[in-house]
Structure 1
């Protein structure tokens, strides 16, 4: 998947032209201009591991953290986001617009999930990621991707 993502990113750079491509490459890790090619490249460049999830009231969303299960991850390419370490295979079309990330309805593999808590986690992450989310990066090491949905749920992912 990383090879495909890199190929798509390189194609995007070629289409963007030399000045936009150089600006994207020169942008500091935590300061990619939101809504730009640099933001898309920043999303593609990292695997994003869920480290924090809170609802609009600041309460931890426990359903997204299952004991004895690896944290959920997001992987991006130029047009898709996929959820890694989930019980089922799932991905959705996405696009960056200004300071927003638009995520379409997820396609989810119809395979059974034998662990009820992990099946519930799959449902919860999809519910929270679909739609339009506010997007920003926090540059303090490690780089963090922060997504906030319309309900005020705040999901923080550390870049690897």
Structure 2
């Protein structure tokens, strides 16, 4: 039995609107893909360097906004590119353009996918976040010993507090390279310097044009004896993933010289008997 979820055309369309990733060519860096991009708006540098994860939300009366915490294991997250804000870990994918003006985020119309949210709590989460991340929102960046904090205050007095987690670009000191990898549904034996009898992902490189259509010849299947940060393998599931590759400045003597970070799962297929 097989079922498939194909998101690639939507993904590539989103890429075209987002300065961080505008082309699926595996060897293209952000700078190379956008040679004519203007400088980022003033005030966005700190915003773009972190994933902002929601840790508290209260209304004007000091009551916790429970609807924003429907997924305790996956907190609502805001990601900023120089010109776009994306909501992560909601039910639907949501994003909007934005600018920073005199201590306020000016957020444009929210664009969202229209996937049905069968879980009532997730549907309520989508409504709760879209009602608050819109229009003009007061923004404060706070420096703390345990990391930066972001605070958003809406016109009706709701206060959303976020913890900053460094992005891969911040941690590795550069934009990385975009690549697409197809991951086979089953692990395979492989050679690993630290683990005897290791089981590794089996992957091959894939290529797509700007319309999301497969192009070129896929690379050869080969064991992948390192991790893809953020990716969890599920036996029986074949995935095509968009990753960012980062060259490590000081790799360990017995480790890889390149780090791979999951950017998005763009195609998923369950392969059964």
Shorter-chain TM-score: what band?
Answer: 0.7 to 0.9
Are 1:111 and 2:115 an aligned pair? yes
Q: Where do residues 52-63 of structure 1 align in structure 2 (5 Å cutoff)? A: 52-63=56-67
- Cα 1:107–1:98 shift into 2, 3 Å: same
How far apart are the structure 2 equivalents of 1:83 and 1:15? 24
- Cα 1:79–1:67 shift into 2, 3 Å: closer
Runs of 5+ in structure 2 lacking a partner?
A: 1-14, 22-28, 166-273
How far apart are the structure 2 equivalents of 1:87 and 1:15? 33
Count of residue correspondences: 138
Are 1:144 and 2:149 an aligned pair? yes
1:66: Cα distance to partner?
A: 1.2
Runs of 4+ in 1 over 3 A off after TM superposition: 5-8
Match of 1:4 in 2: 20
Runs of 5+ in structure 1 lacking a partner?
A: 22-35
| Superimposed CA distance per residue, residues 47-84 of structure 1 (whole angstroms, 9 cap, x where no aligned partner) | 00000100011111011011555110000111110100
SS of structure 2 residue aligned to 1:88: coil
Match of 2:102 in 1: 98
1:91: Cα distance to partner?
A: 0.4
- TM-score if structure 1 supplies the norm length? 0.77
Which has the greater radius of gyration?
2
| Superimposed CA distance per residue, residues 69-107 of structure 1 (whole angstroms, 9 cap, x where no aligned partner) | 511000011111010011101101111112010111211
How far apart are the structure 2 equivalents of 1:124 and 1:15? 33
Match of 1:65 in 2: 69
- Cα 1:123–1:69 shift into 2, 3 Å: farther
Match of 1:156 in 2: 161
User: Larger helix proportion, structure 1 or 2?
Assistant: 1
RMSD: 2.5
